């Protein structure tokens, strides 16, 4: 009778070392591909007042400062997302407004104006610019967005108008304001891009 050969411990270790490696596959979302970078162009109107008949309408603060954020056709306000494809999907359209207002300031929608944009609410974020504290307020676009060409422009029928609660003083600590808009653009293949427009810190009431 022939004995089976003994398998040494060293042979087992060598066999383990030569085992086929495990290959782990990963899937990533492709970058949005377009002939030009997706971009936002816009103009939003900001105002403040301390009396009726000035730039805030309706004004309701009896001699105290009040702020208005709005899109007005009389001020050539607009918002356009450019360099799209006809199959693009635009979502998460958002506005961020940095204002020199006091803590606890709230905004309300002016009666008989569009509800497509949510009422701006404080995000809790602050930043200091030129020694003045600015508070961020955010608003999102909630109406349907249908892309039919290489750009989408917000209908004037969905222009917004919001006024702030009354400030404690007769002026604001700064005449500067800053705002940004952003949107997510998804192609038919699922590729994603984020378009952001920053309007800088050179805007003044």
The string of pLDDT tens digits covering residues 123-158 is 999 999 999 999 999 999 999 999 989 999 999 999
pLDDT, position 36: 60
Cα separation of 167 and 172, whole Å?
8
User: How crowded is residue 91: how many other Cβ atoms within 10 Å of its Cβ?
Assistant: 12
Residue 163 above 60 pLDDT?
A: yes
Residue 92 above 50 pLDDT?
A: yes
Residue 116: band (very low, low, confident or very high) from pLDDT cuts 50, 70, 90: very high
The string of pLDDT tens digits covering residues 76-90 is 899 999 999 999 999
Residue 161 above 60 pLDDT?
A: yes
pLDDT, position 53: 92
Is 85:193 a contact under the CB 8 Å cutoff?
no
pLDDT, position 117: 98
Nearest 5 degrees, angle CA 99-CA 145-CA 44? 25
pLDDT, position 75: 86
Cα separation of 53 and 58, whole Å?
9
Strands 89-99 and 192-198: unpaired
pLDDT, position 21: 42
pTM above 0.85, yes or no: no
Half-sphere exposure of 77 (CA within 13 A, CB side): 18
pLDDT, position 37: 86
Residue 22 above 60 pLDDT?
A: no
Residue 74: band (very low, low, confident or very high) from pLDDT cuts 50, 70, 90: confident
Residue 57: band (very low, low, confident or very high) from pLDDT cuts 50, 70, 90: very high
């Amino acid at each position: 009778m022939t004995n089976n050969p003994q398998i040494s411990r060293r042979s087992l270790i060598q066999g383990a070392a030569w085992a086929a490696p495990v290959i782990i596959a990963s899937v990533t979302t492709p970058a949005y591909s377009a002939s030009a970078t997706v971009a936002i162009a816009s103009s939003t109107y900001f105002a403040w007042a301390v009396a009726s008949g000035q730039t805030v309408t309706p004004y309701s603060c009896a001699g105290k400062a009040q702020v208005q954020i709005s899109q007005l056709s009389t001020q050539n306000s607009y918002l356009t997302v450019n360099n799209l494809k006809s199959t693009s999907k635009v979502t998460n359209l958002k506005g961020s407004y940095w204002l020199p207002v006091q803590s606890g300031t709230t905004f309300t929608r002016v009666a008989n104006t569009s509800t497509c944009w949510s009422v701006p609410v404080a995000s809790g974020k602050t930043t200091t610019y030129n020694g003045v504290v600015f508070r961020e307020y955010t608003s999102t676009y909630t109406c349907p967005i249908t892309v039919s060409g290489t750009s989408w422009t917000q209908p004037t029928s969905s222009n917004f108008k919001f006024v702030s609660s009354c400030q404690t003083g007769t002026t604001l600590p700064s005449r500067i304001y800053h705002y940004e808009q952003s949107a997510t653009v998804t192609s038919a293949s699922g590729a994603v891009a984020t378009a952001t427009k920053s309007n800088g810190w050179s805007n003044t009431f």
